[in-house]
Every structure is written in C-alpha cells, then in structure tokens.
Amino acid sequence: MKIGNALAAAARGLWLAVFGMAVSIVLFTLTVVSLAFTVLGIGLFTTPVALAGVRAHAALRRRQARAWAGVEIPGPYRPLPARRPGLAGQVEHCTALLKDPATWRDLLWLLVDATAGALLALLPATLLLHLPWGVVLALGVWKPIVRADGTHWYAFIPVTDQFTAGLAAGLGCVLAVLALFVAQPLLRLHFLPAKQLLAPGAATLRERELARRVDRLTETRHDAVDGSAAELRRIERDLHDGAQARLVAMGMSLGTVEALIETDPARAKQLVAATRADSAEALTELRDLVRGIHPPVLAERGLGDALRALALRMRMPVEVDVELPGRAAEPVETAAYFAVSEVLTNAAKHAGARQVWVDVHHAGGMLRIAVTDDGRGGAIVPGGPGTRGASAGSGLAGVERRLGTLDGVLAVSSPAGGPTMVTMEIPCALR
C-alpha cells in the first residue's frame, strides 16, 4: 500500500462527495423542473440544455472512473438526428433525447450519485479527519467542550476526562490507518454503480451490434456486387482476347481450306493441321476459364479434394489436412477455395515460402481454415501497415471482402521473419 495513493484516493473521494453531489442535485432538479414545463412548451427548449449538462457531467464521471479507478464505462447514447431549424426541429430533437433509454438511466444515476455514491466517496476522508480531531481533543480541547455541553461523543467513545480523550486520539489513529487501506477500494466501489447505470444497457448493446452487422453486410453487399461485375468483365475480356479470337481465326482458316482443297490439297492439309492445333488450344483456354469460375473438382468431389488438387499445382510443397464430416453449401466452398488459392499465391509470390500447411476443419458451426507458410513474414493485414508488396495487401483485402459476403472473418499473424498464419472462419452448416 502506498500512502500517497491512498491519500490521493481519499482527496478524490472528498471532491466527488462534495462537488459531485452538489452538481448531481442541481442537474437532477433542473431536469425534473424542465420536464414538468415541457407541457407548457418551455421545456422543449430548456430540456435539451439540461440534458446536455447531465451528459457532460456523466462524461466527466466516466473519465474520472477510468483515470482514478481503472473502471471503463462506455458511452450508451443513441446518435441524434440532424437538427432542423424551427420549432419542428426543436420538438424532434427533444423527443429523440427523451426516447433514448440512456437519458433516464442518467437521471437515476444522479440520484444514486447524490446519496449512496456520495456516502461511499466521503467515508475515507471522514475516517482520516477523525485523527486530527482526536489529537486536538487529547491536547486539552476536551475540557471547554465538556464544561459547555457535558459529555462529548467521539465516535462511540464518551469523552469526559483526559483518559477518554486519549482513547479518542488512539481511535483516531486506528481509523486513519483503516482509511489508508480502504480509500482506494471504496473509490472504486463508488464508480461501480455508475458503471451499472451509465454503461449501455443490453438493448442498446444489441442495437449497436445489429447496426454494426447491418453496416458490414451493406459494405460486403457492395463488395459482392462490385466483385461480380469485375469478374464478369474479366470473363468477357478472357473470352474476347482468347478463345473467341482463336475461334474466329479457325473460321477464317477453314474458309481458306475450303477454297484450297481442290487447287492446293497440300496447303489445305497444312491449314487443317494448324486449325486442329488452334482448336486444342482454344479448348484448353475454355477449360482454364471454366476452372477459374468454378473448378469442376470442387463441384464433383468437394472442398477437401479441390484443395488437394490445388496443392498439386503449386510450385512449393503444400501439405493439406482436411477433416470435414460433410460438405458445406456451394457458395461457402467456392469462397473458401478461392480464398485459399489467393493465400497460396501470395505465399509463393511474396513470402518466398519453401513449405505451406493448410488445415481445414469444422467446429462450432464454423468452417475454419488455417494456412501457414515458412516464408519471410511481414504480410500486409487489410487496412494495416505491412512490409510486403501492394499486391499482397490487395490480395488479402480481396480475400477479406470475399469472406465478408458470407459473414466470414480473416485474421493474419505475420511477424517479420515469419512464419505467416492466415486464419479464415466462415459460419456454415455441413450436410
């Protein structure tokens, strides 16, 4: 126990008991009077001002709780609508304040703070002040007090002579030592009712969680739409520049063969052979394009075999461990497959990895995938700093967006020097 910290806690408690109680009483009285005048119209203008004072007082108490006792009290208030000019805007603003449950919790806290809270905060300072008063009594001040008023009570000790005055001084020392031990716990105890009343209620927390989920789903929906449009443009470009160009060339070659088949059969035979080679290349390009849209092995044999086939095409060894008692929905498998594909590509291109491990399992309603490589580390976390190239960062950001459309999450652990672990979770059920 540090005496300085205990004395500081007692002084802070005294400040909270005197100043805090006075402000709480004044604000509660002003707010209640303002609410009573709302029916007359005056309260529409005074209530927002009074509640602004209440919220400022509560915000100060939150800062004090964090700084003095380490008690975190988050703000519970709903966002207010933009204020419109005129009487209608004033009524709307006042109504929004009164509809917020945190407003009424603030008013209840003012009552608690001015009563039980003030007593808890005042107790350490009261115990400490007993010491000087007991010493003063023992020094002889008890005599005029007893002659004037008779027996003087010091706590539970009746002071009537020098002996009892000495007992009072001894009790003052005991109370002062007790105050040093209980000052900090009592200060923290003073802030606990404030935490219960000033923190967001369960309904507010649910509203905030729903708001965050709505924002995230809105963002991922836009990402999904943008990603689908980009994918369609990529497919169109690949078809136009690849297979379509070869098919057009094959058509022209066949037209030439038709013209030369009687006049120059040898030349026509060469063109037929070249056209056959072009058709094989066009077929390969179409297969690659289809595999990029949805790998056939994924549709036919599931995520595990698709990832094993993907691992065989990588230039570095990839060890795949899959424990799935069933298959997930097709969108989940597709998102997981391409996410792992992107992470493996990053490991090969940017990490200099010599070995990669892929672990896939399902537990607690979540498809969990961990991709670990022994590369140089420093992968860019989406939205955060990193040391790999921009393409690595954009790749992980793309993975995060892809998973976000299914309410999935991405976590990256990649210290400089490695290893890098990319963990993905997608909520789903297996069938």
pLDDT of residue 54: 93
CA atoms lying within 13 Å on the CB side of residue 240 = 6
Q: Which two tokens stand for residue 403?
A: 């998973």
Helical (H) or strand (E) element with 422: strand 420-427
The sign of the dihedral angle between the CA atoms of 218, 223, 228, 232 is positive
> Which sign, positive or negative, has the C-alpha torsion 409, 414, 415, 419?
positive
Q: What is the mean pLDDT of residues 39-45?
A: 86
Structure tokens at 66: 């964090």
Angle of helix 21-36 versus helix 101-112 axis, rounded to 10: 130
pLDDT-derived band at 391 (thresholds 50, 70, 90) equals very low
Q: Are 296 and 286 spatial neighbours (Cβ–Cβ below 8 Å)?
A: no
What's the pLDDT tens digit per position in 9-30?
Answer: 888 888 988 988 899 999 999 9
**What number is the average pLDDT over the span 228-254?**
63
Closest CA to 59 of 199, 204, 207: 199
Domain 301-427: which CATH number of 3.90.100.10, 3.30.565.10, 3.10.20.580, 2.40.110.10: 3.30.565.10
Tokens encoding 67: 């700084």
Token code pair at residue 82 = 């933009």
181 Cβ partners below 8 Å, 6+ apart?
1, 6
- Rg, Å, the chain Cα set: 38
What's the average model confidence in pLDDT over 40-61? Answer: 90
Structure token pair of residue 369:
């995938």
Compute the distance between CA of residue 397 and CA of residue 405 in angstroms, rounded to an integer: 13
Distances (CA, A) of 312 to 303, 307, 403: 14, 9, 24
H or E segment and range at residue 59: helix 43-69
- Please answer whether residues 7 and 183 qualify as being in contact, where contact means their C-beta atoms are separated by less than 8 angstroms: yes
Q: How many CA atoms lie within 13 A of 113 on its CB side?
A: 31
Residues 375 and 353: beta-carbon distance below 8 Å? yes
pLDDT per residue as tens digits for the range 270-328? 778 877 777 776 676 666 555 555 667 777 888 888 888 888 888 788 899 999 888 88
Q: Which of 142-146, 243-247, 303-307, 387-391 has the weakest average pLDDT?
A: 387-391
3-state SS, residue 71: coil
Token output for 220: 């991922």
Length of the chain measured in residues:
431
Instruction: Indicate if the alpha-carbon torsion angle 108, 109, 114, 120 is positive or negative.
Output: positive
Round to whole Å and give the CA distance between 1 and 179.
12
* pLDDT of amino acid 276: 76
Per the prediction, the chain carries an average pLDDT of: 80
Q: Which residue has the higher pLDDT, 152 or 424?
A: 424
**Tokens matching residue 266:** 């040898």
Helix (H) or strand (E) segment spanning residue 29: helix 21-36
Distance CA 3, CA 292 (A): 70
Report how far residue 177's alpha carbon sits from residue 175's, in angstroms, rounded to the nearest whole number.
Answer: 5
Q: Which residue has the higher pLDDT, 82 or 62?
A: 62
pTM for this model (two decimals): 0.50
Cα distance between the two ends of the chain: 60
Query: Whole-angstrom Cα distance, residue 168 to residue 140?
Result: 12
pLDDT at 430: 87
What residue type is assigned to position 112 of the chain? V
